């Protein structure tokens, strides 16, 4: 199993500013992901965080808006840049310790409100 912590758990930010969300895992994991969950909606994959290289972004998400770092196998950050009210969402870090039928674990999420 994997235990994931995220900081901050919630924040209220002004438009035009940036927020960096941290994700820490209690063990080394193969893959780390960032998801966005808008209120009452499903989880949408933002990107796969790759250790030591640029993240792989899904369609509709770009590095300038959501820069991601992954310096090692247990830690990653997601920055939400130049925020607007449309960025108000829950951001979840997720990890996959191994391939195949392994469970993908999720952090508790960061609730972001942009005013």
Chain residues binding another protein by CB under 8 A are 30-31, 33, 41-45, 48, 90, 92, 94, 96, 99-101, 103-104, 106, 108-109
Min dist CB 93 to another protein, Å, is 11
What H or E segment, with its residue span, contains residue 111?
strand 110-114
Task: Determine how β-strand 31-37 pairs with β-strand 43-49.
Answer: antiparallel
Nearest 5°: phi and psi at 110?
-120, 120
- Our CB check for another protein shows the closer of 14 and 42 to be 42
- Our CB check for another protein shows the closer of 65 and 111 to be 111
Structure tokens at 58: 């899904």
Min dist CB 13 to another protein, Å, is 19
- Our CB check for another protein shows the closer of 15 and 62 to be 62
- In total, the chain counts a number of residues equal to 115
Structure tokens at 74: 């247990």
What H or E segment, with its residue span, contains residue 114?
strand 110-114
**Rounded-to-integer distance, Cα 6 and Cα 75, Å:** 10
- Our CB check for another protein shows the closer of 18 and 113 to be 113
Min dist CB 101 to another protein, Å, is 5
Min dist CB 19 to another protein, Å, is 18
């Amino acid at each position: 199993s994997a235990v994931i912590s995220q900081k901050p758990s919630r924040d209220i930010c002004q438009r035009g500013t940036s927020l960096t969300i941290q994700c820490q895992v209690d063990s080394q994991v193969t893959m780390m992901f960032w998801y966005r969950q808008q209120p009452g909606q499903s989880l949408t994959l933002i990107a796969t965080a790759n250790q030591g290289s640029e993240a792989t972004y899904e369609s509709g998400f770009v590095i300038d808006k959501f820069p991601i770092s992954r310096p090692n196998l247990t830690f990653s950050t997601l920055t939400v840049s130049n925020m607007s009210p449309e960025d108000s969402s829950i951001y979840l870090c997720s990890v996959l310790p191994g391939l195949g039928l392994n469970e993908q674990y999720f952090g508790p999420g960061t609730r972001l409100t942009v005013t």
